[in-house]
Amino acid sequence: MKKIILFLFCISLLALQMNSQNIYPLDSDYHTFESMENEIIQTAIRYPMLVSWEIIGYTATLKLPVYAVKLSDDVNRQESYEPSVVIIGQHHSEEPLGVEVSLHILNRLAAAYNRYRFAKKTVNRFEIWIIPTLNPEGMSIVNSGKYFNKRENLSDTNFNGILEIEKDGVDLNRNYPFNWDTGNSKNSNIEEVFDFFTDSQFCVNDRYYRGPFPSSENEIVSITHFFDRIQPQLAIFYHSSISSLYAEKIFFPWKWGRIHSDNYHDMAFLASYLAERLPKDYVDDEFYDPHFHNSSLSGFARDYVYHKNGTLSLNVEMGGIDSTGASIVFPANNQMANIKKKHYKAFTDLLEVFYDNLLSGKIEYKNKQLAALKPIFIEDEPLNYRYPLQTDENGYFHKFFLPEKKNTYFTIDNTFFDTEVSKGEKFVIRKNPPYFVDTDLEKPLRTCCIIQKSTFTSFM
Ligand SMILES: [Zn+2]
């Protein structure tokens, strides 16, 4: 008996120790690129009404597919009246946790759909898109155990015709076509901006290399086209902080010295909401921190998608710091399971508050013609370093407002609307003369009133 107890004690000690260690090659529950592919396909077969997948592009060197998985009720129909959310689990392949977290969110929501009202509500309300990895080439190196520190894709960046895993590759989260040219603070004319990476983004052999030109990489061309097509209202990018500098923080666009993004407060609210639900991995009673300090100017996904598509975006840095100060980015299975669980819960909570504060609508002309792809100009939201929101191809739009916001006005196609912010409600705006009417949308509707028609013709 004593022996058994001693044995159990040793096992638990080992488990404790494993909890705060990086394990490489990765522990057995991590996916390889192939097992991830297989799981996506099997999940879609298992839940054909809820899950579908597509390939949004191929990598240049190994010709590997980039998968986008859609999770929604009636998944094979495009439901414009449902807001879209995109999760990208991975840009940097030495950060494998995000792939696991995003696959877990997919599987758990799909599996819980018929069993839990909360899951059903979440899946019914949104079109959720999950891209477990945007970097299949890098993932194929790290997750197969070949090299733990591979960050970029496998582009032959020094053009020597040899595939050098440690030197080649572009940092995909520096290659987006917004702020690519600044790349670091030296070339930036915006004061007080701090960038940790200094010159590294210009060097072809560096792990932070930004690429020869903006959108030089297939992965980035694929994802920017995808964003244009989906026009997501919310995007979550999962990363892990290898250096521990950014561990357990949430970044969002942007604070460049005295310049804040137009929707800084919206994103600060969402980042704080999420952070409050994410306890740190190895410190009791502490939670993730939203990053309110200056942000660097680089070709980041989070800044790009907000600038181009008006998408509110959060960059979640996982990888907790243990008692020795090490950043744990390759945790063992049992610890990874805890991490997946808490991020699933926090993500679904975030979607709930996001939905409750969305104003959704459809805009039509009197002759029933759709007001498709029309810019929307919102009261007191200037257009600093970004494009306006747009209606989608079916005339729908979704706009997040802070909970305290009670009313707003906006202009669409030269017509001025003044409305209560009927959050979580859906309505149709008909123009010419414009008025809101009840529709046959799935939710009960609150009728809103048009206060006046504007003579505004210019918005800028
Ligand atoms: Zn990263």
What's the chain's average pLDDT? 83
Q: Let me know if the fold of 24-356 is the same as that of 359-437.
A: no
pLDDT at 375: 87
Centroid of ligand 1 to alpha carbon of 183 (angstroms): 16
Whether the CB-CB separation of 53 and 40 falls below 8 Å is answered with yes
Of the listed ranges 44-48, 121-125, 193-197, 323-327, the least confidently predicted one is 193-197
Centroid of ligand 1 to alpha carbon of 86 (angstroms): 17
Q: Which residue has the higher pLDDT, 186 or 22?
A: 22
- Give per-residue pLDDT as tens, 248-297: 999 999 998 888 999 999 999 999 999 999 999 999 999 999 999 988 88
Share of the chain above pLDDT 70, in %: 80
Centroid of ligand 1 to alpha carbon of 340 (angstroms): 17
pLDDT at 12: 38
Query: What CATH topology corresponds to 24-356?
Result: Aminopeptidase (3.40.630)
Centroid of ligand 1 to alpha carbon of 153 (angstroms): 13
pLDDT at 403: 83
Could you give the 3-state DSSP secondary structure of residue 17? helix
CATH pick for 359-437 out of 2.40.10.480, 3.50.50.100, 3.30.200.20, 2.60.40.1120: 2.60.40.1120
Share of the chain above pLDDT 90, in %: 61
pLDDT at 204: 86
Centroid of ligand 1 to alpha carbon of 110 (angstroms): 27
Query: What residues are paired with 419 via a beta bridge?
Result: 408
Categorize the per-residue pLDDT at 201 as very low, low, confident or very high, splitting at 50, 70 and 90.
confident
Residue 191 has pLDDT above 50, yes or no: no
Instruction: Report the distance separating Cα 401 and Cα 145, nearest Å.
Output: 45
- For the residues 388-412, what does the mean pLDDT come to? 81
Whether the CB-CB separation of 421 and 398 falls below 8 Å is answered with no
Centroid of ligand 1 to alpha carbon of 242 (angstroms): 8
Centroid of ligand 1 to alpha carbon of 317 (angstroms): 7
Centroid of ligand 1 to alpha carbon of 142 (angstroms): 14
Centroid of ligand 1 to alpha carbon of 410 (angstroms): 36
Centroid of ligand 1 to alpha carbon of 172 (angstroms): 9
- For the residues 371-398, what does the mean pLDDT come to? 85
Question: Domains of the chain: which residue ranges?
Answer: 24-356, 359-437
Instruction: Report the distance separating Cα 230 and Cα 137, nearest Å.
Output: 24
pLDDT at 244: 84
pLDDT at 383: 87
pLDDT at 62: 97
Instruction: Report the distance separating Cα 132 and Cα 319, nearest Å.
Output: 17
pLDDT at 448: 28
Instruction: Report the distance separating Cα 60 and Cα 173, nearest Å.
Output: 17
- For the residues 400-414, what does the mean pLDDT come to? 75
Of the listed ranges 23-32, 379-388, 430-439, 441-450, the least confidently predicted one is 441-450
Centroid of ligand 1 to alpha carbon of 315 (angstroms): 9
Residue 318 has pLDDT above 90, yes or no: yes
pLDDT at 7: 41
Q: Which residues of 348-365 are buried (b: 16+ CB within 10 A; e: fewer)?
A: bbbbeebbebbbbbbbbe
Of the listed ranges 200-204, 397-401, 449-453, the least confidently predicted one is 449-453
Residue 199 has pLDDT above 80, yes or no: no
Q: Are strands 407-412 and 375-378 parallel, antiparallel or unpaired?
A: antiparallel
Of the listed ranges 115-119, 135-139, 276-280, 363-367, the least confidently predicted one is 363-367
Centroid of ligand 1 to alpha carbon of 262 (angstroms): 25
Dihedral in degrees, nearest 10, Cα atoms 62, 63, 69, 75: -160
Residue 177 has pLDDT above 70, yes or no: yes
Say whether the peptide bond before residue 433 is cis (omega within 30 degrees of 0).
yes
Centroid of ligand 1 to alpha carbon of 323 (angstroms): 22
pLDDT at 362: 76
